[in-house]
Amino acid sequence: MTSTESFYFAILNLLNQNKTPSQISKELNLSKQNIYYYTRELKKLGFIKKEKNIWQVLNSKKIDLEHAIKRKDKMIRGHAFIWVAKPNRFYDWKLLLDKNKIKYNLVRGYTPRLFINEKKVWLGKDTITIYENKSFYGKNAIESRKYAVFELQETLRLLMSKLGIDFKYFFKVTREHFGMIKNELARQCNKNGEKIVVRDYLDGEYLWIDDSESLGELETGGKGFTKDRAKLNMEVQNWFNDMKKTDFKVTPSFLMEQLNKQSQIMGGIQQNQLIFDANMSSHLEVLENIGKAITELREVIKNGNNTPN
């Protein structure tokens, strides 16, 4: 957690100890106005409510508070997760559901399906499939997925509690989408009523803009057969942020233009070098001829001095 998140959590803990804002103000050596500001923010985030002038804590989980604060930044939104969990043993789901009087439907006549926290949960022969209906926010896709995993664990905990069982499990994600919120390219496309869809034959659609949530999102996703979807989103995010630094001027055409200019410069330098080499050879030849002429002149002078009068 960041220092801001830790501070919110400290106030939440003190409120959970039935301490008043005045007491918290003294304990943290802060003004009452500051404490009232943070309590209002905690109320907006849905963690406390006021009844009969007393603050009551509705949720004191650190991970939930961390995610709620991150959500305010709205950088990356993870959603449309489908999880598959595999318990370490087999269960007769119908028997357990009937025994605990839990409502369910049979899909295709044999697979029980129920709802936990409004999420569809399919109880297969040896796997549990969970369709996540929430969005999870973070500074990047990895952080967004982290909050989704905590929610998955909570859903499985509730399932075990309802059925009166306890099991260990491993899990994997079979679908996940990540949206870069308030993306400039997405805003431009949405303004013009345009859509962008990029797909391949392995993963299907893996990058798109369709304004489905009116958040101005550039989305990545897919089944992830060839690449981790969260890592793909981070690569796209890093690429887009890097492009923004040059105002999107560094395009393939721009690079080719710069390469051609560089080639022309290098070609000019090479041509100048060739001319210089040719001139140098010519100068050396002249100097060599002058040297020969001087040698011959010396011989003539020498021979002339030795001639009798």
In this model, does residue 306 exceed pLDDT 60? no
Domain boundaries, the chain: 3-62, 74-245, 251-291
Query: Which pLDDT tens digit goes with each residue over 166-203?
Result: 999 999 999 899 988 878 888 888 888 888 888 877 76
Domain 3-62 part of CATH 1.10.357.10: no
Most distant pair of Cα atoms in the chain: their distance: 145
Least confident span in 26-30, 56-60, 181-185: 181-185
Q: Map residue 225 onto helix, strand or coil.
A: coil
CB within 8 Å of 185: residues ≥ 6 apart: 209, 218, 240
| Cβ atoms of residues 133 and 81 within 8 Å | no
Computed over every residue of the chain, the mean pLDDT equals: 82
Q: Which residue has the higher pLDDT, 293 or 34?
A: 34
In this model, does residue 302 exceed pLDDT 60? yes
Q: Is the pTM of this model over 0.85?
A: no
Rounded to the nearest 5 degrees, what angle is found at the Cα of 196, between the Cα atoms of 194 and 200?
160
Query: Which pLDDT tens digit goes with each residue over 67-104?
Result: 887 777 668 889 999 999 999 999 999 999 999 999 99
Q: How confident is the model at residue 307 (pLDDT cuts 50, 70, 90)?
A: very low
> End-to-end alpha-carbon separation of the chain, Å?
113
Query: Which pLDDT tens digit goes with each residue over 219-250?
Result: 888 765 556 777 777 777 777 777 777 776 76
From the centroid of its chain, how far is CA 185? 17
* Per-residue confidence (pLDDT) for residue 290, from 0 to 100: 66
